[in-house]
Structure 1
Amino acid sequence: MRLMTSIVLVALVAACSTKPTQPTLYERLGEQDGITTIVDNLLYELGGNDTLLPFFAKTDIGRFREKLIEQLCQVSDGPCEYTGDSMAQVHAGMGLNDSHFNALVTDLVAAMDEADVATGAQNDLLSRLVPMYDEVMNPDAYLEPGTASQAP
């Protein structure tokens, strides 16, 4: 009996002494509702951005919205799987430069600010998106001939 009591006490002490887990980036962004708000805010920002708006003239905005929500959800460790085209396929033939990229980042930050996303979570999301930079800006290096997407 004494052994059983000792085992139970050790288990209780161990359970009480564990550190609480840190919230995931997905949670810090507000989970699905928060990410949806960020994307909707971004679409609003893009609608007023004369530098970027021409790139979306032939875009299926509904599909763009859906895929961007999926992508941000997956990138932030949420329960989603991105099912869209590769970044190279989506951005092929656009002729993007750093001013376009910077304008999009500025609009994304404004969208997150509008959604009251904490600065730390914003920085964490942006740092997870940085690895996509080269594929977005140099899509031809990532594509086999004939693999560019027709509609982002």
Structure 2
Amino acid sequence: MRIHMLGMALLLSACAGHQQPARDDSLYQALGGKPGISRIVEGMLLNVARDERIVAHFHNVNIELLRVQLIDKFCVEAGGPCQYTGDDMVEAHKGQYISRSEFNALVEDLIKAMEAQGVPVPAQNRLLARLAAQRGEVIEK
């Protein structure tokens, strides 16, 4: 429960600007490298598929492409050796009208996936903080 509260607090307190990815790979390593990040993303997408609050946003999405792009995005944000070649967050979410509560639901699904993979709470919080910096680029104003 405390991770959920901390994760939500991080999201709510984050500024809208994009934070630079880590300069070292300690978070990348703590997440299990690319194999660990892949399992986290896959778990998150499975959670989303069962999440009535947000699953409708994913009905017309190429899930395999999304999976690959999320793995690369999380890898870059964690300081790993990947390259993210997808759209920026504004373009990727344009016209989707994502609310704060829907954004928070996705964060909850990500937290559940990290917990299922045994990611230590400090590493979870570090990833959430880096992703939270992009919150303003995702939520429809």
In which range does the TM-score fall when normalised by the shorter chain? 0.7 to 0.9
Alignment check: 8 A CA contact 1:88 1:138 kept = no
- Structure-1-length-normalised TM-score: 0.75
Q: State the AA in 2 paired with 1:113.
A: E
SS at match of 2:133: helix
Q: Percent identity?
A: 38
Of 46, 52, 58, the residue aligned with 1:44 is 46
User: Which residue pairs with 1:78 in the alignment?
Assistant: 80
Q: Where in structure 2 are there 5+ consecutive unaligned residues? A: 1-23
Q: Where in structure 1 are there 5+ consecutive unaligned residues? A: 1-21, 140-152
Alignment check: 8 A CA contact 2:47 2:113 kept = yes
Higher RCO (C-alpha 8 Å, min separation 6): 2
User: Which residue pairs with 2:106 in the alignment?
Assistant: 104
Against the structure 1 CA distance between its residues 60 and 23, is the aligned structure 2 distance closer, same or farther, given a 3 Å change threshold? closer
1:23: Cα distance to partner? Answer: 6.3
1:37: Cα distance to partner? Answer: 0.4
1:68: Cα distance to partner? Answer: 0.1
- Structure-2-length-normalised TM-score: 0.81
Q: Which has the larger radius of gyration?
A: 1
Q: Deviations for 1:127-147, whole angstroms, at most 9, x for unmatched residues?
A: 0111101111148xxxxxxxx
Q: Deviations for 1:99-146, whole angstroms, at most 9, x for unmatched residues?
A: 10110010000000001100000000000111101111148xxxxxxx
1:67 & 1:24 partners in 2: Cα distance? 21
Aligned residues: 118
User: Which residue pairs with 1:33 in the alignment?
Assistant: 35
Alignment check: 8 A CA contact 1:74 1:80 kept = yes
1:128 & 1:37 partners in 2: Cα distance? 19
Task: Supply the RMSD in Å over aligned alpha carbons.
Answer: 1.3
